[in-house]
Structure 1
Amino acid sequence: MKQTAAAKRTVLGVLAALVLAGCGEAPKPATEPAAAALSVIPAPRDVEIGAGEFVITGRTRLEFGAGVEGEQLGGYLVDLVRRTHGVALKSGGGAGNASNVNVIRFELRDGADALGTEGYVLASSPTRILVSARDSRGVFYGAVTLWQLMRKSDSGIVVPEGLIEDWPRFGWRGLLLDSARHYQPPEFIRKFIDVMALHKLNVLHWHLTDDQAWRLEIKKYPRLTEVGAWRVPAGAAPAADIDPATGKPRLYGGFYSQQDVKDIVAYAKSRNITIVPEIDMPGHASAAIAAYPQLAVIDKPSSQVPADWGIYPNLFNVEESTFQFFQDVLDEVVALFPSEYIHIGGDEAVKDQWKASPRVQARMRELGAKDEHELQSYFVRRMEKFLSGKGRRLIGWDEILEGGLAPNATVMSWRGVEGAVAAASTGHDAVLSPQPTLYFDNRPVAAPSLPGRARVVTVEDVYAFDPAPAALNEEQRKHILGVQANIFTEHIRTLDRVESMTFPRAAALAEVAWSPVKDWAGFSARLPAQLDRYKALNVRYAEPPPPRPLDPFRRNSHELSLCSDKIALSLEDDAPVSGDRAVFLVDIMEPCWLFKDADLSNVTSLVAAVGQVPFNFQIGDAVKAIPLRAPATPAGELEVRIDDCKGERIAVLPLAPAVGNHAVTALPPAQLEAREGKHDLCFMFTQKSIDPTWVIDSIALQTTTAATE
C-alpha cells in the first residue's frame, strides 16, 4: 500500500527520533526547513538545521551496522574526505565506543522502507552522526550528502547539526557517454563514474557502437574490434600522418576488452551506477559492416571504417543470418552487463537501401511488413523477444515507435518529449532525453576554444527542464522512468573536453532528476561549492570566458557573426595531428561571416587568418544546397564585400599561400581604401568543391595609426 506524503513524513519523523534516541540524545529544536542554506547538490527533499556542529578530526571514527559493506563504503568516504579536506578518518568496526562521541555510523533499518530503495535519513548532532537507509544504495547516497555537508570553519571541518530525509524523484538519472566516436580509456571511464556518483546519478548509458567504430570485444566476431575499432580520421593532416610500420595513414581508435568491461561494470556497481550498453541496429552500422560485409544490404560495401559525422545510409540487412549475428552478439553483451535494460539504438535508420534492394523487398513480403517502417518494427520486435527470453528489457530511441512498438519495449525520447508522451500514453515506459536541452554536445558556454554544436545550452537551461510533460495525466506520468543527458562526442575529441562539456551541467540535471525542489536562485548559490569540489578532485568544468570588450579592429571567428544558422558548429581543425588545434565557428551549409560595424575611416589593409577543415558530414541531399562560388584561380579566393554579402567587392585574398598548410595560415594583406563611417564586411570563399571547407580564424583591420606606430 502506497503512503501519502504526510504519512511518509510521519514515519520518517519517528525514524529520526529513534535514530537520535539511539545515540543517547534528545533531538534539539530545529529551524525551519533550510535546504537552500546547505551546499548540497542535488537539494535534499526535507531539511531541518539546528544550531550546533559536529567537528571532524583525525580521531573521528566510522562505524557500520550489520549488512553495511563497511570496508567498501568506508574506504570510499575516507578517500573522499582526505582528497578534499585533508583529514584522515578512521574506518572500521561495528560496535560503538563507550562514549559514542565523534562517531559517524551507517545502518540499515527496516523502518526506512518509506524512503524507497535509494532514500536515506541523515541525523547529526554535535557528538554523533547517523546515516540510516533501507538498502546499501541509500546508505551510499547518505554518505555522499554527508561529504557535501562538510565545510571548513574556525573549528575545523564541520557538519551542521540537523536532520535530512531524502529520496529521489526518479529512478533513472542518467548520462550517455559516447565512446564510439572517440575512445576514452578505462581509467577515464572509472573517473567519470566517480563524478557521476557524487551527483547521485545512477545510470551510465554507454554508446559503444556506431558508424565510426565498434568498441566492444565480441569473442565470436573478433573482426568487430580488429577492423571496426579503428579508422583514419578525416582531413588532409591525418591522411599525411604515415605510420612507418605500415606505410599507411596512422589508425586512430581503441576498444574495450571483455575483461575491461567486467572491471568497469563492477566498479560502477560499487558506486551504485548501472551501465546500460547500446548496440546500434538497424542503422549506424558502417563499422560492423566494414568488419563483416555480409551484414550489408548493398553488394560491395566499404571495407574501411568511415570518419564522417552525420547519418549514413548503411543499414543491416534482414536475413536470418543477420538476426543470428545479433543474437550471438547480445548473448555476449548480456553476459557482460547485468543491467535490466539493453539499448538497441533504432534511430536515424534511413531506409533508402532497403527500398532499393530487391532482396530486402522480397523479405518484406515474406515477413508481411507493409513498408520499411514495419520492417524496422519487425527487426526491433525480434530483438525484444530475444532479450525478454534472457530476462532483459529492450530500450531504444523514439524511432522504435514507428511501425509499431514492441510489447515490452521502453522508449528513450530524444526528438523532444513527444516520443515519451506517445509511449507513456499507451502504457509503455519512457526516459526523457530531448535535444537540444539535454544534448551536451551543444556548448555550455560561448568559449572560443570549446568545440561542439554552436548553440549554447547553459546550466540554467538544463535546470529549467521540466521532466513532467503537461500532455500526460498523473497515471501516465508514472511511466516516465526519469531523465538523461547525452554526451555525443563527434566534436569532443579530448578527455578534458568531455568533462568540460558535462560539468557543471550534470549538476543541474542531477537536481532535476532527484529533487522536487525547483529553485534556480538556491541552486546558483550552492553551485560554487560544487565547483570547489570539482577543483579538489581534478574535474574539468566549463566556465564562461571572462568578459572583454570587442576589439573594433580584430575579431576571431567566434566574435564574427555567421550569415546563417543552418548547421552551425564550433569546429576543431584537423591539424596539427598532435598538440593544440584552432577552433572555428562556421555554418557548414553556408560558410560566410560578417564583421559588423567595422570603422573603415583609417583602415589601410586587411589581414585574414584562414584554415581548412574536412567536409566530413553525411547530410544526404542537403549537401546540394551548399553554395559554391566560382573561383578565379585554381586554389580559390577569400572575397570581401561591403555592407552586405551582395554588396561591392572591396578585396580579394588568394588562398594559394594556405593550400599546402594543414593548420592556420595568415594570408598576405589586402589593401583597402579608407571609407567614412562604420560598415558591415562580408567574407565568403570561392572554391570548386565543398571539401575542404575553408574557414575564417580571424580578421584584422590595419589602420594608418597602427602603420605609423
Structure 2
Amino acid sequence: MPNILPKPQSQQIINKSLELSSPIKLYANNEFDLAADFLTSFITSGSGMEVMFVDQLKDATIILKYDEGIENREEYVLDINENRIKILSKTNNGAFYGVQSLRQMLPFSFESGNYSEKKVELPCVVINDKPRFSYRGMHLDVSRHFFKVEEVKKYIDHLAMLKFNTFHWHLTDDQGWRIEIKKYPKLTTTGGFRDETLIGHYSQEPEQYDGQKYGGYYTQEEIKDVVAYATKRSITVIPEIEMPGHSLAALSAYPEYGCVGNQYKSATKWGIFDDIYCSKDSTFTFLEDILDEVIALFPSTYIHIGGDEAPKKRWEKCNECQSVMNREGIKNEHELQSYFITKIEKYLNGKGRQIIGWDEILEGGLAPNATVMSWRGDEGAIQAAKQHHNVILTPNSHVYFDYYQSDDKDNEPLAIGGYLPLEKVYNFNPISKELSIEESKYVLGGQANIWTEYIPDFKQVEYMFFPRAIALSEVLWTYDNLEYKDFIYRLSIFEDRLDTLKINHFTKYKD
C-alpha cells in the first residue's frame, strides 16, 4: 500500500507494476496547466528523465484529464496500471492533489534532484480521494519575527506537499508592520522596525533586551510574487491586517489614529498592549485606504481583520470614542468593538470581499457576514455556528504550533509555553459534539497557527511545523479510519522525504 500523507479516502492495490521510462509522454487538458507544469518540473529537476507534452491521449504515459462526473472541486482519481498513469479531476486543484499523491509514490531522491536513472517502477493502484473539509489552513506570523520571501515560498511548498489549501499570512502586529502601503509609506519605513527585542522568555525577571534594531517588510511586488507562487500550488493566501488592537507598529508611524497624543513605538516585547486604534471617523478612512491596497494585492475572498485582544482602556477615556458611542447609540465599549468590526466588514463586503476575525469579534454582537476563527477553545465556534455563521477551528489546545512538542522542555528550543504533542494534534476534531448535523455544516475546517515570538529563524519554524502539520493535514483531509499507530508508521517512512528535502523536523515523538 502506498504510504501517502494525508491518507487517501480509498486505495485499491493491484498486484502489478508500471515501468515509467524516459522520455515520459504527458497529456493534460488545458485547464490543468498548473498541475501539469508542477509535475513536469518535479520530474525533470528531480531525475534524469525527460517529459514531453503530447496532443493525443493514445500517445501518453501520464494523463491529466477533465472528468465532469467528479463532484467535489478538490477530488481526484489516481489510476496507475501497467501501461499508463491517469489523474482525473474536474479542477486544477483536484489534479494538483493527484500530482502530490503521485509525487509521494516516486523515490525520495526526486526531491533532491539525485535520481539519475532513466526509468522508475511504480505499483499499480487506484486511488479515489477528496478532502473532508474545504478550509485546510496554516498560519505564519511574520510580525514578531520576519522571514524572507524565499523562506515564505518554502513554507508554501510545505503546505502544497501536504494538500493544505490556505496560507494565512499574519502581516501586521504591535512588533512590526510588514506590507508596503504606498499611500502611507511610514507604515513600513517606521512601523516595519523596532528598536530592540526582548531576550529570553516574557516571564523572566529582570527583562533584558538585545539593543539591536530589528525589522523588514515586503514590497508590493514581493507580495504579488508570493501570491502568484502560491496560486501555482493551489493555495489561497489570506492576508491579516490587525485591528483595532495589535496596532502599535502602525500607530508608531501614524500616531494621529490612536486615542492619546503621545508618540507610540513598535513594541519591543510580547504581550497585549492598551494602545489600539481610535474609533473616530478618520481612522476608518485610514484603514479603508490600507485595505484598498491590500485588496489589489490579494485575490482571496477573505481578508482577515484580527479583532482579538483589544483592551478597551483607551476607548473608555477617549473623548472621540465616547462621542462616537453617543452619536451611534452604543451602550458600552464591547458594542463599540462590534461597531468597529461591522463598519470594516461593510466596507469590504462592498468590495466583494468577506472578513474573518478571531473569536473576540463575537463580543458586543457579531458582524452580519463574518466568519469566526475560534482560537480560545471551541466555544466561539459553537456560538457562531449556532448563529449560522461560518467558522474555522484553530484552538490553542490542539493547533498552536508555537507550543512545546516535548515535555522535556529543558532540551527543546525556547517556546512560549504549553505542551502540544503530536498525538494530541492527531486527535483534533474540528466539529464539536455540541453541534447538530445542520449546525456542523457551518464548520469550514481548521487551521494551525505558528506565532513567532520565540521563533527567530526559519529552521525553527520548520522544527515547530514538522511533523505536527502532517498530523493536521490528515485530520483535515481524511474522513475516517484514522489510527495513530498507522499514521506513525507512515510518518516514519515519510521522514526520509523530509531528510532528503533537508527539512529541520522534530523526531523525539518516537521515544
In the alignment, does 2:297 pair up with 1:336?
Answer: yes
Q: Are 2:22 and 2:118, in contact at CA under 8 Å, matched by a contact in 1? A: no
In the other structure, the counterpart of 1:278 is 240
What stretches of structure 1 of length at least 5 have no aligned partner? 1-36, 242-248, 548-709
What TM-score do you get using the length of structure 2 for normalisation? 0.92
Residue among 138, 162, 167 paired with 2:125: 162
Cα 1:428–1:236 shift into 2, 3 Å: closer
Question: C-alpha offsets along residues 296-315 of structure 1, whole Å, 9 cap, x if unaligned?
Answer: 1112132x312110111111
In the other structure, the counterpart of 1:34 is none
Give, as a single letter, the amino acid of the residue that structure 2 aligns with 1:352: K
Q: Are 2:77 and 2:128, in contact at CA under 8 Å, matched by a contact in 1? A: yes
Distance 2:226 2:192 in 1: 19
SS in 1 for 2:245: coil
What TM-score do you get using the length of structure 1 for normalisation? 0.67
In the alignment, does 2:423 pair up with 1:460?
Answer: yes
Distance 2:161 2:305 in 1: 28
Distance 2:126 2:458 in 1: 39
Q: Are 1:283 and 1:315, in contact at CA under 8 Å, matched by a contact in 2? A: yes
Q: Are 2:35 and 2:92, in contact at CA under 8 Å, matched by a contact in 1? A: no
In the other structure, the counterpart of 1:253 is 215
SS in 2 for 1:259: helix
Distance 2:224 2:355 in 1: 21
In the other structure, the counterpart of 2:491 is 527
* Comparing 527-536 and 392-401, the one that deviates more: 527-536
Residue among 455, 469, 487 paired with 1:492: 455
In the other structure, the counterpart of 1:233 is 196
Distance 2:510 2:479 in 1: 33
Q: Could you say which structure has the greater relative contact order, defined with CA pairs below 8 angstroms and 6 or more residues apart?
A: 2
Q: Are 2:404 and 2:418, in contact at CA under 8 Å, matched by a contact in 1? A: yes
In the other structure, the counterpart of 1:320 is 281
Distance 1:236 1:533 in 2: 35
In the other structure, the counterpart of 1:345 is 306
In the other structure, the counterpart of 1:57 is 21
Q: How does 1:530-609 map to 2 (within 5 A)?
A: 530-544=494-508
In the alignment, does 2:31 pair up with 1:67?
Answer: yes
Residue among 165, 169, 177 paired with 1:202: 165
Q: Are 1:55 and 1:155, in contact at CA under 8 Å, matched by a contact in 2? A: no
The two structures, once aligned, show a CA RMSD in angstroms of 2.2
In the other structure, the counterpart of 2:6 is 42
In the other structure, the counterpart of 1:31 is none
Cα 1:350–1:369 shift into 2, 3 Å: same
Question: C-alpha offsets along residues 469-506 of structure 1, whole Å, 9 cap, x if unaligned?
Answer: 10100111110011000000000011100111011111
Residue among 123, 129, 132 paired with 2:79: 123
Distance 2:35 2:120 in 1: 20
Distance 1:234 1:464 in 2: 36
Identical pairs, percent: 41
Cα 1:388–1:435 shift into 2, 3 Å: same
Q: Are 1:169 and 1:514, in contact at CA under 8 Å, matched by a contact in 2? A: yes
Cα 1:152–1:257 shift into 2, 3 Å: closer
Distance 1:212 1:118 in 2: 37
In the alignment, does 2:91 pair up with 1:135?
Answer: yes
Deviation at 1:196, TM superposition (A): 0.4
Distance 2:413 2:42 in 1: 30
In the other structure, the counterpart of 2:342 is 381
Q: Are 1:83 and 1:537, in contact at CA under 8 Å, matched by a contact in 2? A: no
Deviation at 1:436, TM superposition (A): 2.6
In the other structure, the counterpart of 1:610 is none
Question: C-alpha offsets along residues 241-260 of structure 1, whole Å, 9 cap, x if unaligned?
Answer: 7xxxxxxx542110010000
Cα 1:259–1:66 shift into 2, 3 Å: closer
In the other structure, the counterpart of 1:564 is none
Deviation at 1:56, TM superposition (A): 2.7
What stretches of structure 2 of length at least 5 have no aligned partner? 110-116, 201-206
Give, as a single letter, the amino acid of the residue that structure 1 aligns with 2:271: G
In the other structure, the counterpart of 1:184 is 147
Give, as a single letter, the amino acid of the residue that structure 1 aligns with 2:4: V
Residue among 27, 36, 56 paired with 1:95: 56
SS in 2 for 1:396: strand
SS in 1 for 2:79: strand
Deviation at 1:235, TM superposition (A): 4.9
SS in 2 for 1:73: helix
Distance 1:337 1:65 in 2: 27
Deviation at 1:40, TM superposition (A): 0.5
In the comparison of the two structures, how many residue pairs are matched?
Answer: 495
Distance 1:282 1:544 in 2: 40
Give, as a single letter, the amino acid of the residue that structure 1 aligns with 2:244: P
Distance 1:151 1:496 in 2: 25
Cα 1:239–1:483 shift into 2, 3 Å: closer
Distance 1:199 1:273 in 2: 11
In the alignment, does 2:438 pair up with 1:475?
Answer: yes
Residue among 407, 410, 413 paired with 2:371: 410
Distance 2:504 2:269 in 1: 28
Give, as a single letter, the amino acid of the residue that structure 2 aligns with 1:204: F
In the other structure, the counterpart of 2:383 is 422
Distance 1:295 1:75 in 2: 47
Deviation at 1:453, TM superposition (A): 2.6
Larger Rg: 1
In the alignment, does 2:469 pair up with 1:506?
Answer: yes
Q: Are 1:398 and 1:415, in contact at CA under 8 Å, matched by a contact in 2? A: yes
